[in-house]
Amino acid sequence: AQSVSQHNHHVILSEAASLELGCNYSYGGTVNLFWYVQYPGQHLQLLLKYFSGDPLVKGIKGFEAEFIKSKFSFNLRKPSVQWSDTAEYFCAVLGGRDDKIIFGKGTRLHILP
């Protein structure tokens, strides 16, 4: 069965700091990978996704993620965070014959102004 592990449950950064949120998944076959974001009081929305091709994918609001197949990882990065990036971030995987997307437990990101 697929699973997703997010290493950090709570991250606190100052504005302009660089961000990297870790995500590892367990599935040996072809996977589709996602990062979702949930801003305070809002619904989950897609940040970026990887289906195939270039392993470095760019999403909205300056976020990017790199798929490293050998490490089963899909880490989320942003060179310089803003206060408005305060939110909860979820890594998710879709793989195999299942059509269900499996989410990690989430990382709560708090940016200090």
Partner 1 sequence: DAGVTQSPTHLIKTRGQQVTLRCSPKSGHDTVSWYQQALGQGPQFIFQYYEEEERQRGNFPDRFSGHQFPNYSSELNVNALLLGDSALYLCASSLGAPSGEKLFFGSGTQLSVL
Site residues (CB under 8 A) for partner 1? 4, 6, 32, 34, 36, 42-46, 49, 90, 92, 94, 98-106
Which of these, 68, 57, 82, 54, lies nearest to 22 by C-alpha position?
Answer: 68
Q: For partner 1, which is the closer residue by CB, 19 or 48?
A: 48
Nearer to partner 1, 61 or 100 (CB): 100
Nearest to 39 by CA among 99, 74, 85, 107: 85
Pair 2, 93: CB distance under 8 Å = yes
Rounded least distance, CB 46 to partner 1, Å = 5
Q: Shortest approach of partner 1 to residue 82 CB, angstroms?
A: 23
For residue 83, the minimal CB distance to partner 1 (Å) is 23
Q: Which residues on adjacent β-strands are paired with residue 109? A: 11, 87
